[in-house]
A = this chain, B = another copy of it.
Amino acid sequence: MTLRGFSFSSVEAAIKKPGRKDLALIYSEVPATAAAVFTTSSVKAAPVLVSREHIVSGIAQALVVNSGNANACTGEPGMIVAQDTTRLVALALGVETSAVQVCSTGVIGIQMPMERIQSAIPHLVEGLSTGTLADVADAIMTTDTFSKMETCSGQAGGVGYTVSGIAKGAGMIMPNMATMLSFIITDAAIEQNFLQQTFRQAVDASFNAITVDGDTSTNDTCLIMANGMAGNPTIVEGSSEGNAFAAILNTVLLSLAKQIVKDGEGATKFVEIRVTGAQNYSDAKLAALAIANSSLVKTAFFGQDANWGRIFAAVGYSGAEVDQTRLSLCFDDVCMARNGIFAGDDAEARGTAVLKQKEFTVSVDLGIGIGAATVYTSDLTHEYININADYRS
């Protein structure tokens, strides 16, 4: 599978410290139809503010991204850095400044070393002839232990196209919005409004359904660029090809989201939390997130302790409508509790066996309606504390 018309580059700009590539570029030969979803936090990093302004055009042709410094809580000087970065990249590439997106991830509250970025940009543009998307995926890692990529292909009007995505994130993962950074590129031609709408839906079902520690970042950005160089007839809403594209997009995003959870800082477990029988969808999501964000529940997962009572306790304070006499809970296919009470001693041993697996599903039936929601999370471990206690040093 090839992605026509895209090229990639990464260089070492020594933004935090030397020794790794920390500045990367994605470039499309032609202006691409683009859409983006940004952090909902009231404290937004400078690059988020700049990119949000640029995306209004619906067009992007380049993305410049760095790790090592978030350029958040940096005030007016930080804004100037983000603006200058897009301007310099636009100049070097010969594209519109408003067609350049900029993203940053790393430490909050420290000014960006602009002179180092400025001197790295020419090398970054030269490198476009030889780089790969995997190079970009590597360059945006911070506490990630592996880089995240996914690719799927589709067809429209007899013409094949490819959708590829990369993501970065391991902690500070929380719905609305989840991954710190994710970039999706496709050579398909997609109608602008349809792209925006289908992308937002796919983000909701993937990055907004994962949670590692309940924190939301100042820098979260999810961007898609569709440059149309596959040559397919433009994909529009309501067509079978539109539905197929939406399905492919969901697959790519959900795969990236699950990779982020699996790389949850210090995680040893991957847990799917499925809540059914809620009064409505929003109650189901409230309950699922309360379970997924409970430190007590997540620590029990780490301890492989089939402590279903803590899960009911989390459902109880979630804010969802609950009748405690109708709650049921299973670990995979082992029913631990029915109608609010323990299912019996045999369940204890079998439930514990499920929790010893690296991946399992917690199903909670609230028993009062048809609302359902699924979220993905990890356990809370010693390693999480190690990573975050000395992240800045």
Residues of A within 8 A of B (CB): 40-44, 70, 72-75, 77-78, 107-111, 171-172, 174, 213-218, 293-296, 299-300, 302-303, 305, 307-310, 312-318, 320-322, 324-325, 327, 337, 339-342, 380-382, 384-385, 388-393
B388 touches A303 (CB 8 A): yes
| A389–B172 alpha-carbon span in the complex (Å) | 22
| A389–B317 alpha-carbon span in the complex (Å) | 21
| A341–B73 alpha-carbon span in the complex (Å) | 5
State which of B44, B172, B337, B382 has its C-beta within 8 Å of the C-beta of A324: B44
Question: Which residues on B sit within 8 Å (CB–CB) of A392?
Answer: 305, 307
A313 touches B391 (CB 8 A): no
CB distance from A109 to the nearest CB of B (A): 4
B43 touches A316 (CB 8 A): yes
Question: Which residues on B sit within 8 Å (CB–CB) of A41?
Answer: 313, 316-317
A340 touches B75 (CB 8 A): yes
CB distance from A107 to the nearest CB of B (A): 7
Query: How many copies, total?
Result: 2
Least CB separation from A174: chain B residue: B317
| A44–B174 alpha-carbon span in the complex (Å) | 28
B218 touches A72 (CB 8 A): no
| A344–B217 alpha-carbon span in the complex (Å) | 23
State which of B215, B339, B380 has its C-beta within 8 Å of the C-beta of A296: B215
Question: Which residues on B sit within 8 Å (CB–CB) of A295?
Answer: 213-215, 295, 380, 384, 388
Question: Which residues on B sit within 8 Å (CB–CB) of A314?
Answer: 215
Least CB separation from A296: chain B residue: B215
CB distance from A390 to the nearest CB of B (A): 5
- 27 residue pairs A–B, Cβ–Cβ below 8 Å: A41-B317, A42-B321, A44-B324, A73-B308, A73-B342, A74-B342, A107-B309, A108-B307, A108-B310, A108-B312, A108-B313, A109-B341, A172-B296, A214-B214, A214-B293, A215-B295, A215-B314, A218-B313, A295-B384, A296-B388, A299-B384, A302-B385, A302-B389, A303-B388, A303-B389, A303-B390, A382-B382
